[in-house]
Each structure stands twice: as structure tokens, then as C-alpha cells.
Structure 1
Amino acid sequence: MTTIADTAASPEISKPAQWTGRVLSGLVIVFLLFDGAIKLVPWPVVTETMDRMGYGSSESLARTLGVITIACTVLYAIPPTSILGAILLTGYLGGAMASHVRIGSPLFSHTLFGLYLGLMVWGGLWLRDRNLRDLMPWQR
């Protein structure tokens, strides 16, 4: 017997869509883990960039940001917590974009980089996660 819930459920995700989502998500995860790791060290380029952005060259702030980046990325990488990780990464990337706006960074290469990465976060997740597709369907 077919129920209303069965007919309203979203169709299965195709294999190409799943793999595209995994690749997009994998690229984001690798990039953000690297970004977090260089903040943990922190390399001089990190503290110099933070100073240019008006946050001072604080190694403790750099390490804190590195821990936050890695923690949010790990949440994103684990399937049961991936939506929470995507939400937290969206906030983190929005803060980075706001910082670039504040100092007048170039629009397409620096300021909007957080937007590009955020689109990859959500696009990869939407392509690979049926729960997100059920929550946010593009069509009914």
C-alpha cells in the first residue's frame, strides 16, 4: 500500500549527482582543513594578513580561528552533522567576506571568495544529501 508520505518523498539521487556533490564537498573540505592548519601553526603569512585586515598579528587569534575552521569543517565532513557544519561554515565565510568589504579588498578575487566557497559548500551538500533535498526542494 502506498502512503502519501511515499509519494511525496523526493526521488533517489542519481549517481552522477552524488559523485559531483562528493567532489565539490571534498574540495571544500581539503581547502578548509589546509586553511585551518596554517592558522594553527601560524605561519607568518597568516599573522601578516590578519594585521593587514585590522585584527593585529595575534598568534592566539590565528590559532583560535584555525580551531574554529577545522571544527566546522569536520562537522561538515561527517554525514549526520553535515547540515550543521554547512550552517556554521556559512557564518564563518560571511564574516570573512565582511572583513574584506571593510578593508576594501578586490571584489571578485577576495571579497566574493567566501561566496564562491559557500556555494560549493551548499551545492555539494545538496547534490549528495537527500535530507537537504527533502528540506529544500527546488521543485515540487
Structure 2
Amino acid sequence: MIDTSPSLALVLAIVVLITVGVYLLLERSLTRVLLGFIAMSNGINLLFLVAGGAAGGAPITGQTAPEDMSDPLPQFMILTAIVLTMGISAFLLAMAYRSWQLNRHDEVQDDLEDRRVARRAAADLAAFEDSDTEVTTTLDEDAASAHDEMGGDRS
């Protein structure tokens, strides 16, 4: 009987990579988001590798007996995931670099519309009501508090 249980070291590596990846994805810095995305995708690739079962022979007809072949589907999925991860990582890196060129930081700023929605949700107001007359701050005040290049408040 072939032992198909995964190695404890691989399972621990998967858990650590995905945990670190999710934690870094929740940060505001695009560089940390990029590192989190890469760590999480590597953890998921390892998960595909472990889920693929025990290693076998090359899946080439005539070279390996059919019962001894590896399943090529997990290998294909991992290869595709690597290519997609590289493309998304290049895009995130370009966004972080452009943000650094423009602002001298790569932090994602608050969106004014998100603040308005959160304020309305906290006040338990209906979404269809006109908020222009009920808001105590102006759009310019919200923009000044969200704009952190000059040291504004991000609350």
C-alpha cells in the first residue's frame, strides 16, 4: 500500500505561507500587499502539490505504466497559477512604483465615497436619501482629512 499522506513539514509550510499572505494582504502599503499576494500564492501552489497525491512517473504514454503515472492536472494548475501570479505581481509592482513616484509613499488612501457609505451605515440611514443636506462636513473637509501627504488625519 502506498502512503499518500502529506508531509507535516509541507502542511506547516502551507499554513504559514497562507497565514502570512492573508495578514500582509490586509495592510495599506502596496509593497506589503504584493509580498502577501506572493506568499499566499506560493502557499496555494504547495496546497495543489500536496493535493495532487503521491509522486509518480512522468505522465507520458509508453514511458510509464498508467497505474504509476502522476496526475498532470495539479502540475498544470500550478504552472498556470505561477504565470498568473507573475502577471499580477508585475501589475502591483508597477502601481507601487508609480505611487512612490507621485506621493513618496505607496500607501492606499481612503476613498471619500467609502467614508460616506460608512457614515451613513453608522447612522442607520437609508441608501436612497439625499445626504447633501444631512452631512456635517463638506467634501473639501473630507478630502483634506483623507489627503495624508501633508500630514492630515486619516480617521
| TM-score normalised by structure 2 residue count | 0.30
For CA contacts below 8 A with separation 6 or more, give which structure has more relative contact order. Answer: 1
Work out which of the two has the higher radius of gyration on C-alpha atoms and give 1 or 2: 2
With the length of structure 1 as denominator, give the TM-score of the two structures.
0.33
